Amino acid sequence: MTDGIDHKILDELIQNSRESFRNIAHRIGVSTVTVMKHVKKLEKEKIIKGYSTQVDYEKLGYDIDVIVNVKIAHGRFAEVHESLKNNPNILAIYDVTGDFDALIIAKFKKRRILDAFLKKLQTLQNVERTNTVVILRVFEKKGLEISQ
């Protein structure tokens, strides 16, 4: 069970997972030991699953972002997921409702790599059709504020 202090700590860590416990404690008005105990509890409960780095992928050449909607043969999501899960360009694969069964978010360095990915995806067994959306600009992307 989480409380208001947990939520405030989570908000701080979502903004900067490398922030010191001392700085977090100062900002939310509790002791450093309190922050440390709450973070350990959140990690033990698997509410905090890990820590990550935000990378500017565009500076590394990954400037083509896509969302691919995938129609999958009835009941075959697991097989398609298994075929895709290790692809290094894929950031996320979602099981969704609506006209499509899966949504893939991926990044690519070159159009030809995207083209090869899409052609291979469309030939996978159990993939019935796809619809690809190229993201032109990201106006806002942030973590969810938990303490509200």
DSSP per-residue letters across 2-16: --HHHHHHHHHHHH-
- Answer for the pair 88, 43: CB distance below 8 angstroms, yes or no: no
Edge-to-edge strands of the sheet including 64-72? 90-95, 102-108, 64-72, 127-135
Domain ranges of the chain: 4-44, 57-135
* CA distance linking residue 14 with residue 132, whole number of Å: 30
Q: How far apart are CA 17 and CA 13, in angstroms?
A: 4
Q: Which residues contact 71 (CB under 8 A, 6 or more apart)?
A: 99, 100, 101, 127, 128, 129, 130
How confident is the model at residue 64, as a pLDDT? 97
CATH 1.10.287.110 describes domain 57-135: no
Residue 135 pairs with which residues in a beta bridge? 65
Full pLDDT tens readout for the chain, 148 residues: 778 999 999 999 999 999 999 999 999 999 999 999 999 999 999 999 999 888 999 999 999 999 999 999 999 999 999 999 999 999 999 999 999 999 999 999 999 999 999 999 999 999 999 999 999 998 988 888 888 7
Does the structural domain 4-44 have CATH classification 1.10.10.10?
A: yes
Matching fold, domains 4-44 and 57-135: no
